[in-house]
Amino acid sequence: MILNCIAVDDEPLALGLVCSFVEQTPFLNLVGRYASAVEALKAIHSMKIDLVFLDIQMPGLNGIELARVLDNSKTNKPRVIFTTAYNQFALEGYKVDALDYLLKPFNYEEFLLASNKALAYTELLEKSNALPTTATQPKPAVNEVIEEEYLFLKVEYQLVRLALKDILYIEGLKDYVKVWVQNSEKPILSLTSLKALEEKLPAKKFLRVHRSFIVSLDKINSITRNALQIGKINITVGDQYKEAFSKFLSKWV
């Protein structure tokens, strides 16, 4: 697989270094180099670009602002690897779904590691998109429902595949979710919202019972009228979720 990429940096030396690194990398194809984010945005709209090596501190439209534009785009959405001298933007880079964050000065080995991550991400995404869908699969029998058995979570700067059967419950925080899984004492942290994750989960297997919790229904150990237990954790059912919880409970009582 070959990734079409561009480099964006207002410092000529830094831009030249990134371009030379790209040209040394067999699976990268440099299709443009730009001194401003505005020029880069025009190129992204006119060409097929898979990857952008993007500086942050630039006059006019900066790198974070360009990444936000790309993140909200429904088409022409290349992945971003930031190349910057400022580590205080790392969290912002994560929030705009950047694949990696290279802190200047970086060497070719660091550049290659980030580029390999982009290649692996793209290959994984293509394999996921190539899986048979309900449009290409044989028509299911009556009452048969075809559901995904896993989901992909953005964890740090990579996409992680997680089997639904391993999930115990999901806890929502301000900017993150904690996904608690079987046979692990630590949760998986992902920068997404509980609502966004709820939309990806099959309703027959998962239920939101609180503004901060989604539970796996087959992992529930015990139930009271206003709470449930999964392992050693007691989770209270929130007022706005009691009706849905009562419907679930009525199937078993």
Q: What string of pLDDT tens digits covers the 253 residues of the chain? A: 899 999 999 999 999 999 999 999 999 999 999 999 999 999 998 999 999 999 998 998 998 899 888 877 766 688 899 998 876 665 565 567 788 888 899 999 999 999 998 898 888 777 765 555 444 445 444 343 345 688 888 787 667 788 899 999 999 987 789 999 998 889 998 878 888 888 888 888 999 999 999 999 999 998 887 888 998 899 999 999 988 888 887 776 5
**Among candidate residues 63, 95, 129, the one where a domain is terminated:** 129
Residue 143 lies in a domain: no
Helix pair angle (108-130, 12-24), 10° resolution: 60
pTM, rounded to two decimals: 0.59
Burial (CB < 10 A; 0-12, 13-18, 19+), residue 82, is: buried
Provide the H-helix boundaries in 52-148.
63-71, 90-95, 108-130
111-114-116 Cα angle (round to 5): 105
Residue 110: give the domain boundaries. 3-129
Please give the Cα distance from 194 to 197 (Å, whole number): 5
**Which CATH number does the domain housing residue 197 bear?**
2.40.50.1020
123 & 167 share domain: no
121 & 71 share domain: yes
Partners of 80 in beta bridges = 52
Residue 76 lies in a domain: yes
